[in-house]
Amino acid sequence: MAPSLLFLVLSSAWAALSLPLMLTTAADEQGGDPCSPHLCGNVNISFPFGIVPDQATDTNCGGIGFQVRCTNNTPYLGYNREGHWLLILDIFYGNESLLVADMHKLQDLNGSAKGSCRIPENNSSTKLAFPFTISPLNKELILYNCSEAPRKVQPGKELVETRCRNETFVRAGGRYDEESSSNYSLEGCSATVVPVLGGAGEVNASRYERLIRDGFLMTYQTPPWPTSPPARG
């Protein structure tokens, strides 16, 4: 056999043998290694999510962005830095969504985070990254920190004073839309938008702490299954 033909045959054989391994590796990198289902509190943590031990700095369990920290039997979406984790209230595997609460916002508003009640500065959307998005089924809660009491408020957009007082207010918006935050500007005030799931009908802004505590809905896309689909538990 000519050397060039022999090289071609060997190259083709190597490619055929390597392809399944390459595909498996790519799927594992995107979807993460299969993780045994765990119950953290009342929440079942199964694929594509995976529990990350508290002291772990690196883990292959769970896909990118799907790592969960189970701290004091409470599940947190753990790809964010500590103190800014989103509390997982429930996961709905059937429709690829989960209910989470931005507890850092609540701690700012009741003074338990830094010892003083204040309006948080960043929108909840800044805590999200791939593969999660905020569901449009949520409604918007707008928090205001003002230099003085607003003089002009449109009818139907009344403000409710927060427990922080000191010219801080809250009001209910419409359906959640990341592009709509500019519509909530008030002269002399900074605005922070927090999504809340609420319920049927209008959101009552005076119940803002309960609304934040009850959480908002996020959606995700399930990555490809690993080589062997893990058990659901």
The pLDDT tens digits for 45-76 are 999 998 887 655 555 666 778 889 888 999 99
Q: How far is Cα 66 from Cα 222, in angstroms, rounded to an integer? A: 10
Cβ atoms of 171 and 208 within 8 Å: the answer is: no
Amino acid at 76: Y
Task: Specify which of 85-99, 150-164, 173-187 reaches the highest per-range mean pLDDT.
Answer: 85-99
Give residue 94's pLDDT.
Answer: 95
Cβ pair 67, 79 in contact under 8 A: yes
Q: Residue 6 — pLDDT band, cuts 50, 70, 90?
A: very low
Task: Please report the sign of the dihedral spanned by the C-alpha atoms of residue 203, residue 209, residue 217, residue 231.
Answer: negative
Rounded to whole angstroms, the Cα distance separating 180 from 10 reads: 59
Q: How far is CA 30 from CA 60, 66, 131, 221, in A?
A: 11, 11, 11, 12
Lowest mean pLDDT among 15-19, 193-197, 210-214: 15-19
Cα 160 from chain centroid (whole Å): 27
* C-alpha dist (Å) from residue 176 to 40, 173, 181: 29, 8, 9
